[in-house]
Homo-oligomer: A and B are copies of this chain.
């Protein structure tokens, strides 16, 4: 079976069109921004699971850096299992979900609104319970996604996050239109990833490191490999990695480091020096600014802004996952033991 025969491949390939639709759907972002500004919002809670939770880390960091507001990720069970009564009068809750159907998210979202929150739901299904529970629904416009491993809907969540924050800050979202071409270029060059995917070894430890904006993609690459190649992989911030887990590192480890174009060198410099002391194989994805000549580099977007290059590079991590699963003899479209919609209580 050729790589192009997989649904996961065709869905990754649709990313530029998804971006185009999303950038053109200005009204929904403007409306969301107006609703936010009409309220006295002092803090933000992001509500999500799985892949959407990873996208939520990008949105979290974006709001923290650009707007300086405190942001947390919801623990849905605090409400769905432990029955917390929440006081969210000054809280903006942003729910991210491809399907909009996991019961714990719906329960938490309803409780948050009852507790006074402004609720924005970003989903890929405007008929879903979560979409309908929100004060505002932002349609991810990703179109039907059939492969179990989410791809274009994740990229859409990243871009929708950026467009929401742009509008909230009062920036005109037109400035992001170039991302459609940038995504097209990325998709046209996916085959550069083939040799890297084929040299990855599922029998040796794989760990994925990011920081700041790229932490989301690090977690997402780790999750995607777990879902489609059935091996445990952790995605971590380079700082958290140093606070303990780095002890597992050895000469046999494969460390995939995400260094999107525009990332400040000091975000990773110290950690990389420490990682190199253990002699693992380093594989870079993004820019080569910190790579040694002999280290492999999967070339990512060359956008000057890290928040943009992170969004474009998401397709590379998805394609890497797809290729790696095929190499390992698995069908990434239908991973064993997973279904497209996961419902947790």
Q: Mark A310-345, 1 if CB is under 8 A from B, else 0.
A: 000000000000000000000000011110001011
With A223-B244, A232-B245 known as contacts, the answer to whether A60 contacts B75 (CB < 8 A) is yes
Copies of the polypeptide in the assembly: 2
With A72-B45, A338-B247 known as contacts, the answer to whether A239 contacts B104 (CB < 8 A) is yes
Q: Which residues of B contact A69 (CB under 8 A)?
A: 86-87
Nearest neighbor of A86 in chain B, beta-carbon distance:
B68
Q: Which residues of B contact A232 (CB under 8 A)?
A: 205, 207, 232, 234, 245, 248
Contact at A227–B244, with CB atoms within 8 Å? Answer: yes
Contact at A77–B244, with CB atoms within 8 Å? Answer: no
| Segment with Cβ contacts to B, from A29-37, A47-55, A138-146, A286-294 | A47-55
Q: Mark A243-254, 1 if CB is under 8 A from B, else 0.
A: 111111110000
CA of A41 to CA of B247, assembled, Å:
39
Contact at B240–A50, with CB atoms within 8 Å? Answer: yes
Give A282 Cβ to nearest chain B Cβ, in Å: 16
CA of A291 to CA of B9, assembled, Å:
42
CA of A75 to CA of B264, assembled, Å:
16
Nearest neighbor of A78 in chain B, beta-carbon distance:
B64
CA of A234 to CA of B271, assembled, Å:
21
Q: Which residues of B contact A89 (CB under 8 A)?
A: 42
Q: Does A88 sit at the interface, judged by CB under 8 A?
A: yes
Q: Does A84 sit at the interface, judged by CB under 8 A?
A: yes
Contact at A42–B91, with CB atoms within 8 Å? Answer: yes
CA of A244 to CA of B234, assembled, Å:
13
CA of A151 to CA of B248, assembled, Å:
19
> Would you list which residues of chain A between 102 and 137 have a CB under 8 Å from chain B?
104, 115
Q: Does A170 sit at the interface, judged by CB under 8 A?
A: no
Q: Does A299 sit at the interface, judged by CB under 8 A?
A: no
Give A213 Cβ to nearest chain B Cβ, in Å: 9
Q: Does A242 sit at the interface, judged by CB under 8 A?
A: yes
Q: Which residues of B contact A278 (CB under 8 A)?
A: 337
Contact at A73–B75, with CB atoms within 8 Å? Answer: no
With A42-B89, A230-B250, A234-B232 known as contacts, the answer to whether A342 contacts B50 (CB < 8 A) is no
Give A263 Cβ to nearest chain B Cβ, in Å: 9
With A239-B76, A243-B50, A250-B230 known as contacts, the answer to whether A267 contacts B81 (CB < 8 A) is yes
> Would you list which residues of chain A between 60 and 104 have a CB under 8 Å from chain B?
60-61, 64-73, 75-78, 81-82, 84-91, 104
Contact at A244–B72, with CB atoms within 8 Å? Answer: no
CA of A67 to CA of B68, assembled, Å:
24
Q: Beyond the given A223-B245, A246-B338, A266-B345, could you list 8 further A-B residue pairs with CB under 8 A, ordered by the A residue number?
A: A42-B90, A50-B243, A65-B82, A77-B267, A104-B239, A232-B248, A239-B345, A247-B336
A-B contact pairs, 23 of them (CB 8 A): A42-B42, A42-B43, A42-B89, A50-B243, A66-B84, A68-B87, A71-B72, A77-B212, A77-B239, A223-B244, A226-B244, A226-B245, A228-B247, A230-B250, A232-B234, A232-B245, A244-B342, A246-B337, A246-B338, A247-B337, A249-B337, A277-B337, A278-B337
